Chains A and B, each alone.
Chain A
Amino acid sequence: MFDSFILIIELLMLLLALGIATVKTVRQMIRLYQFQCYLLAAIALLTIYASKIQPAWLFVIVLIPIFLAAFIEILLAHATVSGGETGSSVTRSLFYPKAWPQTREQAARIWLQDRPEVRGGAWIIFVNFLLIGGAFVIAGVLQAGAANEASRMQLNSLSKSGYLAVSLSLLLLGIAVMINKEDIISQIIGLLVSEHGMFLVAIRAITTASDRLANLYPTVLAFFVISLFAYTLITLILLIVLLPNLHRTSGHIEVDSQKELRG
């Protein structure tokens, strides 16, 4: 029952990823991504709660998707509007919450003007479904391998297959978003969707590890958590340091404007 419930939430995440891949405005993408973050946080919370060993600090990983959901819009908005500003004023506006509504409004106008073009139109939906199908096939093959050795591995194969298929799908859909959409904000969102796939596997690995391995050496769980935080750190560096400067020098959020280097 519990596994089925988790699986439903995971499939909802997958639907949202499909939505992200097909919607046409940045704002819609951000909204769907934020919703996906909350679902991921719910999965993390439930999975950790249900696992047999629950070190209290393990719950800190729930904070990562919640943090990203809460701040992603302002970070992206800040990166978008900082096109003509100097470095210091950009930083000031980011760390001054009263300026956020204005930043959001300015960014929304730019996002409406520079709508991310989706390459390929209808066939991209077909490709997305193909990617999901491929992910489920790989997971299915693995499940078959696991079922043959079920007694040895003592795996809950249904749940394992579910998380694996959804994780791989999110990973591939994220990459598809990065390739298909023509603006750097969408590339970031695509990267973050892929990151959700990794996060999902990590949550399962952490909780499986806590069941099976915590009696050996629980610090391994801490390393997983650190690795997730390390990944979030990179995302933040992208958003806070690199993106505003890139936007400032090129004057655009479109990928086509970032093709000076070729060959």
Chain B
Amino acid sequence: MSLLLQEKIRIILVAVVVLAPIIVALAPLAFGRKLKPLCIATVIGSFLTLLASFLLALGGAEKPLQFYFLFNFYIDDLSIFFILLVNLVALFASLYTHNFLSYDSRHNPHHNPAYFHIFFNFFHLTMLIVPMVDNLILLWIAVELTTVVSTLLVRYRGDRPALEAAWKFIIITTTGIIFALLGTLFLTSAITEQTQEILISLPIKAVDPMRWSILAREAIAKTLDPQFIRLSFLFVLIGYGTKAGLAPMHTWLPDGHGEAPSPVSALLSGVMLKSALYAILRFYTITNLSETANGRSNAYTSNLLLIAGVLSLFLATLFILKPNRFKRVLAYHSLEHMGIITLGIGVGTPIALFTALLHALNHALTKALMFLAFGYIQNEYGDRLPQREETLQSGERIQGVLSAMPITGIILLSGGLALVGSPPFNIFMSEFMILWAATQKLKDTNQIMMYAAVIIFLLTITIIFGGLVNHISRLLLDRPPFPPIEPRLSSLVNIAPFALLLALILLFGFVIPQFPVNFPQLLTRSAEIIVNGVVSP
């Protein structure tokens, strides 16, 4: 197949990825508030986008896909990895929307499936746009749009806790995102006369100096003003770090994740945090290229990320040990795992970056399973114990799940064990690899920060293990408030997506699959992009 044709097919696949959620979001125009068709449309849309992104990944990306339609698209392997991540979690979350909305129709006076459906699909869309844009200002706009749409989803239930959570979420992330835009603006201030001269000489028709594909070249990066580049990265880390839920700007996380509907919590924790991380990675590359071009090591970015990672791990441990609502505990696990991913990026070697990305995928799958399975349990208990609605929302009175819902209980238990990094699950594999990469780095460099990071990492993951076992045993054990409801055919249909997710989690625990997508190759190339930026002329 000719290269031109191949590129055209890839553009069509990108169009499917982007257009499917838009078209599906408009489904209420045809179906009104009818729950079933809306949910089927969402599942079909999510399936189509996932299929298209799989095909996009299958095609490989020897050369990044670049084209202009309204704005510049730039899709390299790193973008494809994040697109896959978004679509995988979105498909599982969409499979669960019917269960959630059915329950919601029985218990929520503000029930509005059309509203939920529109914003759920637009949220999916905004998270897909983030890894596709080339211009760093547009990247900021895309990340900010994820905030706007997700706030409207967090407030969906319309009661006081949901509104309060939405308020805190938007106030804190919006304040943080000011820093991100300032960081982006400082990047423009870093462009010098020398940079301009090179830009003009580039064989590109319209040179937009804010495009990542332009700035992340060694020849350009070395002409950028190092002071402003450093300041830019610091601000970007604070700004997008707030959105990524990194400590100490994580305070919105437990409220937002805890009060959002479960499918939205799965998307928030599984994917939205990673969208912000993606933005940090793009700036990380530019900053490191500039630093090395000016004869420095990566110590500046490395230390900042290690501090953010270690602080996140430390604070997560404190909060996970406290008695708390289960969804909030899960949110603090997001803080923990974002800390681990950031720590991995901070280590900075190609294998550490490979593993940090793998950990992002593993965390997304596991957290999606936990939020969705717990949401399902909440609904089943809520239907049988309506008088305890408020306490059920918080998950405080749920007990005896292993007896009442043995299959879902075992799935939740397995997910919990995966989350705390037990073998043979996926997170064990990626945590172990990050630890290995960090100890390898210690052999080469004698950084105190790295020593501290490794020690705190080991300590916290051990303590956290005990913390979650305590929380999950309160849910699973004890006498159930009603007779067992599983196994039943209807419940098996609901549980099937969880079982599939658990199978994926187990699979990634044993091997990084090469089918249907060659994940090892995709991750290796993504890590190379983070290290080297744009290598082609």
User: Which residues of A approach B to under 8 Å, CB–CB?
Assistant: 138, 141-142, 145-146, 149, 152-154, 160, 167, 171, 174-175, 178, 184, 187, 191, 194-195, 197-198, 201-202, 205, 208-209, 212-213, 216-217, 219-220, 223-224, 226-227, 230-231, 233-234, 237-238, 241-243, 245-246, 249-250, 258, 260-261, 263
A146 vs B152: C-alpha distance when bound (angstroms): 43
Chain B residues whose C-beta falls within 8 Å of the C-beta of A258 in the assembled complex: 164, 167-168
Instruction: Indicate if the CB atoms of A227 and B322 lie closer than 8 Å.
Output: no
Cα–Cα distance between A208 and B254 once the two chains are bound (Å)? 41
Are B170 and A234 interface neighbours, CB within 8 A? yes
Docked-complex contact A231 and B181, CB < 8 angstroms:
yes
**Knowing A213-B209, A219-B208, A242-B155 touch, does A260 contact B164 (C-beta < 8 A)?**
yes
Bound Cα distance from A149 to B225, whole angstroms: 9
From A208, A219, A226, A246, give the contact of B167 (CB < 8 A): A246
Please, which residues of chain A bring their CB within 8 A of the CB of B208?
216-217, 219-220
Report the Cα distance A71→B129, complex, angstroms. 32
A259 CB → nearest B CB, Å: 8
Q: B161, A260: Cβ atoms under 8 Å?
A: yes
Residues A261 and B189 in contact, CB atoms below 8 Å apart: no
Rounded to whole Å, the gap between the CB of A166 and the closest CB of chain B is 13
A217 close to B209 (CB less than 8 A):
yes
CB-based contact B227/A223 at 8 Å:
no
Known: A209-B188, A245-B155. A263 touches B199 (CB 8 A): no
Pick from B145, B151, B255, B258: contact of A242, CB under 8 Å? B151
Complex CA distance for A208 and B160, rounded to whole angstroms: 46
A216 near B182: Cβ-Cβ < 8 Å: no
Q: B175 contacts which of A184, A191, A261 (Cβ < 8 Å)?
A: A191
Beyond contacts A194-B178, A208-B189: 10 other A-B pairs, Cβ-Cβ < 8 A, are A142-B228, A145-B225, A152-B194, A154-B193, A198-B185, A213-B188, A234-B144, A234-B147, A245-B155, A250-B160
Contact of B50 with A by CB under 8 A = no
Find A205's partner among B189, B199, B225, B227 (CB 8 Å cutoff). B189
Mask, B176-194, CB within 8 Å of A = 1, is 0011011001101101111
Interface size class of B (residues with CB under 8 A): 35 or more
| A171 and B182 contact, CB distance less than 8 A | yes
**A184 adjacent to B191 (CB under 8 Å):** no
Question: Is A261's CB under 8 angstroms from B185's CB?
Answer: no
Contact B141 A220 (CB under 8 A): no
Q: If the complex has contacts A146-B227, A220-B208, A249-B160, are A242 and B166 also in contact, measured as CB distance less than 8 A?
A: yes
Does chain A have a CB within 8 A of B16? no
Interface locus among B17-25, B132-140, B400-408, B477-485: B132-140
Question: Please, which residue of chain A has its CB at the minimum distance from the CB of B188?
Answer: A205
CB distance from A44 to the nearest CB of B (A): 15
Which 10 interchain pairs have the tightest Cβ spacing? Answer: A145-B227, A249-B160, A223-B137, A217-B208, A205-B185, A246-B163, A261-B255, A216-B207, A205-B188, A198-B178
Q: Which of B345-395 contact A (CB under 8 A)?
A: none
Q: Does B196 contact A (CB under 8 A)?
A: yes
Contact A197 to B178, CB < 8 A, known contacts A212-B196, A260-B164: yes
Known contacts A260-B161, A260-B164: A234-B196 contact under CB 8 Å: no
- Indicate whether B499 reaches chain A with its CB closer than 8 angstroms: no
Q: Report the minimum CB–CB distance from A151 to chain B (whole Å).
A: 9
Q: Determine whether the beta carbon of B145 is less than 8 Å from that of A230.
A: yes
Q: Once bound together, how far apart are the Cα atoms of A153 and B192, in whole Å?
A: 5
Q: Establish whether residues B148 and A233, one from each chain, have CB atoms under 8 Å apart when the complex forms.
A: yes
Main secondary structure of the interface of A (DSSP, over half): helix
Contacts A250-B164, A258-B167, A263-B324: A227 and B141 contacting too (C-beta < 8 A)?
yes
Cross-chain contact A261 with B170 (CB below 8 angstroms) = no
* A261→B209 contact, CB < 8 A: no
Cα of A163 to Cα of B441 in the assembled complex, Å: 41
Taking a contact as CB atoms closer than 8 A, the residue among B160, B170, B324 that contacts A238 in the complex is: B170
Q: List 30 A-B contacts (CB under 8 A).
A: A142-B227, A145-B227, A146-B227, A154-B193, A167-B182, A184-B167, A187-B171, A191-B175, A194-B175, A197-B178, A205-B185, A213-B188, A216-B207, A217-B206, A223-B137, A226-B137, A226-B141, A227-B140, A227-B144, A227-B181, A237-B170, A238-B171, A238-B174, A241-B152, A242-B170, A250-B164, A258-B164, A260-B164, A261-B168, A263-B322
Which residues of chain A have C-beta atoms less than 8 A from B135's C-beta? Answer: 220, 223
Closest residue to B135 on the A side, CB-wise?
A223
Does B174 lie within 8 Å of A224, measured CB to CB? no
Is B231 in contact with chain A by the CB < 8 A criterion? yes
Q: How far is the CA of A36 from the CA of B200 in the complex (A)?
A: 39
CB distance from A198 to the nearest CB of B (A): 5
- The answer to whether the Cβ of B328 comes within 8 Å of any Cβ in the partner chain is yes
A194, A223, A246: which contacts B164 (Cβ < 8 A)? A246
Q: What are the residues of chain B within 8 A of A243 when measuring CB–CB?
A: 167
Minimum CB–CB distance from A179 to chain B (whole Å) comes to 10
With A146-B227, A242-B170, A249-B159 as known contacts, state yes or no: A220 contacts B178, CB within 8 Å: no
Cβ of B378 to closest chain A Cβ, rounded Å: 17
Q: A216-B200, A233-B148 are contacts. A242–B167 as well, Cβ < 8 Å?
A: yes
Contacting residues, chain A, for B147 (C-beta < 8 A): 234
Bound-state Cα–Cα, A208 to B199, Å: 17
| Interface status of B497 (Cβ within 8 A of chain A) | no
Report the minimal beta-carbon distance from A228 to chain B, rounded to whole angstroms: 9
A224–B137 CB distance below 8 A: yes
